[in-house]
Amino acid sequence: MEFLIIILSGVLFATAIYNLLQKQLLRIIIGTILLSHGAHLIILTMGKLKTGQPPVLTEGISQYTDPLPQALILTSIVISFGITGLLLVLAYRTTEENNTDNMEQLRGKSNE
């Protein structure tokens, strides 16, 4: 099962990077989202997917799934959400200022 998830995150990485290499701002942001999904899944898989109970202490159960990766992923989800939100607004403002969302045309100023 773990290998399946790892392959899945490989596919997510591949599609994410393909998106990142596009010209459109929006696609680049989609790429970053896919990338963070892939990373989260990898973190989860590294904590072993052995079936156990959810990490909430309950009477009579001794086998739980690993809680540490879950805490890490939770932190990561929030951070990537913050970044995505910022990127989106940035994309919006960039497009508004420059009248284009084509990355090939957004090359900074010539004298820089």
* Interacting residues with another protein between 62 and 81 (CB under 8 A): 64-68, 70-71, 73-75, 77-79, 81
Nearest CA among 33, 52, 99, 43 for reference residue 72:
43
Residues in contact with another protein, counted by CB under 8 A, come to a total of: 86
The residues, any chain, with a CB within 8 Å of residue 65's CB and separated by 6 or more, are 47, 49, 50, 51, 52, 53, 54, 55
- Rule CB under 8 A: say whether 32 interacts with another protein: no
For the CB of residue 60, give the shortest distance to another protein in the complex, in Å.
13
Cβ closest to another protein, residue 60 vs residue 107 = 107
Q: Hey, which residues between 45 and 64 contact another protein (CB under 8 A)?
A: 45-58, 64
Please say whether the beta carbons of 91 and 26 come within 8 A. Answer: yes
